[in-house]
Amino acid sequence: MSILSGKNILLGITAGIAAYKTANLVRLFIKAGANVKVVMTPASKDFITPLTLSTLSKNPVFSSFTNDDDDNAMWNNHVELGLWANFFIIAPATANTLSKMANGTCDNLLMATYLSAKCPVYVAPAMDLDMYKHPSTKNSFEKLTSFGNIIIPATSGELASGLIGEGRMAEPEDIVSFMERDVIGKLPLRGKKVLITAGPTYENIDPVRFIGNHSSGKMGFEIAKAAANLGAVVHLISGPTYQVIDHHLIQVTSVTSAQEMYDEVHKTFENCHIAILSAAVADYRPKNVVSQKIKKTDSTFTIKLEKTKDILKSLGAIKKQQFLVGFALETHNELEHAKGKIESKNLDLIVLNSLNDEGAGFGGSTNKVTFITASNEIIGHKLKSKTDVARDLMKLIIQKTTNA
């Protein structure tokens, strides 16, 4: 899955011959999983039609503040467009538009949107050789770079004038790759390895029965996505679950029992920077697993259980520089029990939730948690989606590991 998946990308198109390439650029952004809206300068419509771009983006195309052909048309809000975007890419960016951007000339909807944008702005210039090398164009590049805009270098080749040299807009595939590399390279967990456990464990009684719990694994999977979206390489070790994940930075290892999870975790822990153990691991397992299905004979049946290995405690005993996070699901004396686990298992942070809180616990799409740190900070949160809880958790971890 691309790092652009789920992101809002605003594409600005200006009046250069390379505008014909933007149909493929929109298609590639959509293929990457992004949401795309297009803003065109009026003159750019001579090179590619709004109908083509609206069909590919599945969104209306904007080119003026109002639609002159519609008496009931509403104002196209450039501020709203600028705030909607996670990333703004102007491609092709002509010498004329580059100069306007550099000097704040606001004479069309695209320029008004650019001046309103709060997100990273990428610029893919396209012009003839002499224009590309002209001092005024170089001055525009320098000023835009000083503003924080990111220039996607033009390439060399045959130009519209027939000259051969620099000035060709980068190919759509290269623009997408450039943006992906740039976004990943600036992410706060770039280069970090994160170990995450998720889901339940199943402990066999016989070939057809097991001891388990109601964990769906959703919380752990959301944490894995949040970590990967921040640039981390994630090893997700999951017990049996219906959850699925597709991200190029996430490797999933499936296990069934507590012992299998223990073994996989210990293979990975030494080389990770952050470990987040959100799995609901069985505390006990049958002491003797029967090889044949147990027949129903007596009116009562007794299973002798033995403790499983405490994975979290075992990691706390051997951790070096790793930031170790545990989860605690409690039903009474929640804070007291959670604080006890921080000390007894040598944790840096514990995530506490209670089955007494409506909307929290197993199976649902929401959770209500309290973060407790090793320094006894208690950070409570209201009921949120598990997606938002995962983001809150990763934000706190980044804060703690950056300041460490």
Question: Is the per-residue pLDDT at 78 higher than 90?
Answer: no
Residue 288 among the catalytic residues: no
Give the model's pLDDT for residue 188: 93
Share of the chain above pLDDT 70, in %: 94
Give the model's pLDDT for residue 400: 92
Alpha-carbon distance 39 to 50, whole Å?
A: 9
Closest CA to 304 of 207, 208, 203, 214: 203
Give the model's pLDDT for residue 185: 87
DSSP H/E element including 8: strand 8-13
For the segment 119-148, the average pLDDT, to the nearest whole number, is 94
Tens of pLDDT, residue by residue over 45-61, are 999 999 999 999 999 99
Give the model's pLDDT for residue 121: 97
Give the model's pLDDT for residue 359: 62
Question: Is the per-residue pLDDT at 71 higher than 70?
Answer: no
Alpha-carbon distance 8 to 396, whole Å?
A: 25
Give the model's pLDDT for residue 1: 72
At 2, the pLDDT band (50, 70, 90 cuts) reads confident
Q: Is the separation of the CB atoms in 392 and 245 below 8 Å? A: no
The pLDDT mean for the chain works out to 91
Alpha-carbon distance 184 to 228, whole Å?
A: 10
CA-based max dimension of the chain: 93
Give the model's pLDDT for residue 151: 97
For the segment 316-339, the average pLDDT, to the nearest whole number, is 88
Share of the chain above pLDDT 90, in %: 72
Phi, psi of 311, rounded to the nearest 5 degrees: -65, -45
Per residue, the 3-state secondary structure of the chain, as one string, reads CCCCCCCEEEEEECCCHHHHHHHHHHHHHHHCCCEEEEEECHHHHHCCCHHHHHHHHCCCEECCCCCCCCCCCCCCCHHHHHHHCCEEEEEEECHHHHHHHHHCCCCCHHHHHHHHCCCCEEEEECCCHHHHHCHHHHHHHHHHHHCCCEECCCEEEECCCCCEEEEECCCHHHHHHHHHHHHHHCCCCCCCEEEEEECECCEECCCCCEECCCCCCHHHHHHHHHHHHCCCEEEEEECCCCCCCCCCCEEEEECCCHHHHHHHHHHHHHHCCEEEECCECCCEEECCCCCCCCCCCCCCCCCCEEECCCHHHHHHHHCCCCEEEEEEEECCCHHHHHHHHHHHCCCCEEEEEECCCCCCCCCCCEECCEEEECCCCEEECCCEEHHHHHHHHHHHHHHHHHHC
Tens of pLDDT, residue by residue over 83-101, are 999 999 999 999 999 999 9
Give the model's pLDDT for residue 11: 98
Please state whether beta strands 366-367 and 349-354 pair in parallel, antiparallel, or not at all (unpaired).
Answer: unpaired
One-letter amino acid identity for 126?
A
For the segment 253-266, the average pLDDT, to the nearest whole number, is 97
Phi, psi of 377, rounded to the nearest 5 degrees: -75, 135
Neighbouring-strand partners of residue 236: 196, 252
Give the model's pLDDT for residue 74: 60
Active-site residue among 213, 271, 333, 403?
Answer: 213
Q: Is the separation of the CB atoms in 95 and 128 below 8 Å? A: no
Least confident of 224-233, 321-330, 353-362, 376-385: 353-362
For the segment 261-287, the average pLDDT, to the nearest whole number, is 95
For the segment 239-261, the average pLDDT, to the nearest whole number, is 94
Question: Is the per-residue pLDDT at 75 higher than 90?
Answer: no
Give the model's pLDDT for residue 296: 83
**All domains of the chain, ordered by start, with CATH?**
8-185 (3.40.50.1950), 193-403 (3.40.50.10300)
Give the model's pLDDT for residue 404: 54
For the segment 377-395, the average pLDDT, to the nearest whole number, is 93
Give the model's pLDDT for residue 298: 77
Alpha-carbon distance 327 to 312, whole Å?
A: 9
